[in-house]
Amino acid sequence: MQAGPEWDTGVTGIGAAGQARAMTDRQFPKWAELRPLLRPKPLELNPTDRRLAKALTIADLRRAALRRTPRSVFDYTDGAAESEISLARARRLFRDLEFRPQILQDVSRLDTTTTVLGRPSALPFSFAPTGFTRMMQHEGERAVVRVAERRGIPYALSTMGTTSIEDVAAAAPSARTWFQLYVWKDRGAGEELIQRAKDAGYEALVLTVDVPVAGARLRDTRNGFAIPPALTAKTVLDAATHPAWWMNLLTTEPLTFASLSSWDGTVAELIDTMFDASMTLADLDWVRSRWDGPLIVKGIQTVDDARQVVKAGTEAIVLSNHGGRQLDRAPVPLRLVPDVAEAVGDSAEVILDTGIMSGADIVAAVALGAHSTLVGRAYLYGLMAGGERGVERAVDILEAEIRRTMALLGAPTIADLGPQHVRLP
């Protein structure tokens, strides 16, 4: 049989009915039919907005930050101690845990609100204290605290911050601000910082206890990272590939510090010079005698230490290995959550820090027993990628992931999350 002129089936023995089904009527599309399909995206002229719109995850913001920031500064933020095993293990546990969704739950009205230190927080995370933030991007701590104010979450200013206690408070007068403190060899200087935070209206004091000496942050050593950046042949070459960063550093106000008038050296030298390696549990009494607000102790890595500091009188503890930046092969904080939550009960809030890179990570931590979490690198990647708008984008990403994960788990509120939703490997 010879096929018709319009088509060739390539199959012999096909009947008339089959031929009719194989035929497809075609026509030229009309403009009225094409127009609804041709919807080009509006052209975004602002390069920062265009860059941030492409970021769908915190990992995307990290890649944008790497392109925008000198390598030594990026590595200070991104890196950890020695072989970076502690950080890798923390992130691997988040990656390998298993969610267990509960089906047929009404999740039409999700509520991400929780309580942190007895007050409402719009999301179950706070911005962690981070050092030298204005080196990462010139808008620095002011940008971060303004985002915290708008989004209804707490922000902790680091002792090693690059904006003063008073200026951070003035930048966002209604924000929930915490001040992070190291115990100094010069107790008079530490007492002055506590008083300044109190006078500026800070809500809580975050006492960090896992830095008796500086961890070996090898990326910083190899990069020759110093505060402020030194103009070496390497940094001059780097300036050629990151002109905007250097221009912003050189044409905005000089770096100032939350707690120092100046410093010229490495971060490790600063830590070993200023901080008190003789600090013991008894020093909590000294801090308590000078601070009458909520006290958070950050850097707890065992159940026994959690019990001790809670017994000594703290409102909250932070399970943290300092983002992997101190002791390598340290305990993974997420794995400690169930045991610590059981050990301290209602005596103190349990906050998780280290390794968080997504809203799903935050949901997992809360489901296992944490009251809330701290995020540090996640918002710093946003800051480096796009300043204040980048920090806002980081919160957008984390919030969307929290909400989606809660809905898919069948948990309409933070209080509905529980250990039945997560299994650790």
pLDDT digits (tens, 9 = 90+) for 213-225: 888 899 988 888 7
Instruction: Please tell me the predicted confidence (pLDDT) of residue 3.
Output: 46
Q: What is the DSSP string of 185-252?
A: SSHHHHHHHHHHHHHTT--EEEEE-S-SS----HHHHHHT--BSPP--HHHHHHHHH-HHHHHHHHHS
Mean per-residue pLDDT of the chain: 89
CB 131 within 8 A of CB 275: no
Is there a domain that residue 38 lies in?
no
299 within some domain: yes
15: in domain: no
Residue 146 lies in a domain: yes
**Looking at 5-14, 290-299, 405-414, which range is the least confident one?**
5-14
d(CA 106, CA 2): 62
pTM of the shown model: 0.89
Cα–Cα distance, 425 to 420 (Å, whole number): 14
| 7 falls within a domain | no
For 110, counting Cβ atoms within 10 Å of its Cβ (0-12 exposed, 13-18 middle, 19+ buried), the class is middle
Active-site hit among 138, 242, 322, 371: 322
How far is Cα 372 from Cα 225, in angstroms, rounded to an integer? 33
Give CA separation, 366 vs 138, 299, 360, 391, 416, in Å.
33, 18, 10, 22, 10
**How much is the average pLDDT of 46-66?**
94
Say if 387 falls within a structural domain.
yes
> What CATH number does the domain containing 62 carry?
3.20.20.70
pLDDT band at 334 (very low <50, low <70, confident <90, very high): very high
The pair of structure tokens assigned to 371 is 């009251």
Residue positions counted in the chain:
425
The token duo for 4 is: 């018709």
Cis previous bond, 338, omega within 30: no
| Residue 10 scores a pLDDT above 50 | no
Residue 272 has pLDDT above 70, yes or no: no
Q: Which pLDDT score, from 0 to 100, does residue 262 have?
A: 52
Residue 248 CB burial class (10 angstroms; 0-12, 13-18, ≥19): middle
Rounded average pLDDT over 316-325: 96
Please state, in angstroms and rounded to a whole number, the distance separating the CA atoms of residues 21 and 18: 5
* Element (DSSP H or E) covering residue 78: helix 71-78
**Domain span holding position 86:** 52-423
Domain count, the chain: 1
Vertex 295 angle, CA 111 and 328, to 5°: 85
Torsion of CA 136, 140, 145, 150, to 10 degrees: -90
Residue owning tokens 């992931």: 401
- Residue pLDDT, tens place only, 356-390: 999 999 999 999 999 999 999 999 999 999 999 99
Give the pLDDT confidence score for residue 2 in this predicted structure: 46
3-state secondary structure of 299: strand
| Known active-site residue 322 | yes
| pLDDT exceeds cutoff 50 at 5 | no
Rounded Cα–Cα distance for residues 246 and 227 (Å): 14
Asked whether residue 254 is domain-assigned, the answer is: yes
Q: 149-182 pLDDT, tens per residue?
A: 999 999 999 998 999 999 999 999 999 999 999 8
Residue 394 lies in a domain: yes
pLDDT number for residue 224:
80
pLDDT the model gives residue 7: 42
More confident residue, 169 or 12: 169
126 strand-pairing partners? 374
